[in-house]
Amino acid sequence: MSQFKKIGVLTSGGDAPGMNAAIRAVVRTAVYNGLEIVGVKRGYNGLLHEDFINMDARSVGETLQKGGTILQTARCLEFKTSEGVKKAVEVAKRNEIDGLIVIGGDGSFRGARDLTREGLPTVAMPGTIDNDINCSEYTVGYDTCLNTVIEAVDKLRDTSSSHERCSVVEVMGRGAGYIAIESAIACGAEVVLIPEEPFDFQKDVIDVIQQGKERGKKHSIVIVAEGVGGTVEMAKKIEEQTGVEARATILGHVQRGGSPTVRDRVIASQMGARAVELLLEGKSNRIVCMQHGEIADVDIEEGLNMKKHVSQELIKLARQLAI
């Protein structure tokens, strides 16, 4: 434990509700264990340019309920080079930072791995609304995002019902359909399209909407993951081929914001505290994650190589309940 006197914390990649809860847990766990703690502003970019702030228990007061990240986040092309990583480690050593906690997604984890390889002990934890970290059953921000989507779709359903329309709603998820599939079940969507599952537009979209119309349905909801794309064009095709008025809605970055749910606050707090504990135990190059409903940790390389798939049971359930 004597190896660590000062540690840093940063957020990287896209922001996610609950990141502030994680920062708070990191800071207060560090202070509780007698460590100095610095916040690194704007992710790896801030690490390279020594954009640091000294933090204490009061620095994170009244932050638990806030969305976004108080440390901010930014892209950093320089850090993707070996020279950039070496420079970051030199900056950390010059500022007597003995270890680092990184909150973010896959790209952020690769950066954490590279820092550890160059001699800066680093632990990472998942903060991303997409729930697409392969080694973890859950990522901080996912539950809040789902609730934001459901609130929006519920409101769209009101107007769709009033006008007997079809609402085609695009949700985030470039390479993963977790947001789409769970929100589709939760809001009772007639159709859900995700990048992991091939689909036939006629059979899986047009025919489903037509059959619903014949059974007396007055409106319908189609949820489309961002990675599928073509949301506006889909709405036009639906209207042309079914005669049902269709409107496209792209929820976009509204899904990233908002006060985190209880689930995100608690899990972020657990993961943030565990990240500090791992450093104190002399462990680095680890990802704090959730496995079998419990907080766990895995080697970063191992975590990046794991595979994760959208549940076929959820896909089946979504179709089964949409009749």
Would you please indicate which residues are annotated as catalytic (active-site) residues?
Answer: 130
Q: 240 CB contacts (<8 Å, ≥6 apart)?
A: none
42, 288 contact by CB (below 8 A): no
Sign of CA dihedral 67, 73, 74, 75: negative
Q: Which of 267, 255, 105 is CA-nearest to residue 182?
A: 255
Q: Which of 67, 41, 113, 93 is CA-nearest to residue 284?
A: 113
- Whole-angstrom Cα Rg for the chain: 22
SS3 270: helix
Helix ranges (DSSP H) in 171-311: 178-187, 201, 207-214, 231-242, 262-280, 300-305
How many residues does the structure list for the chain? 323
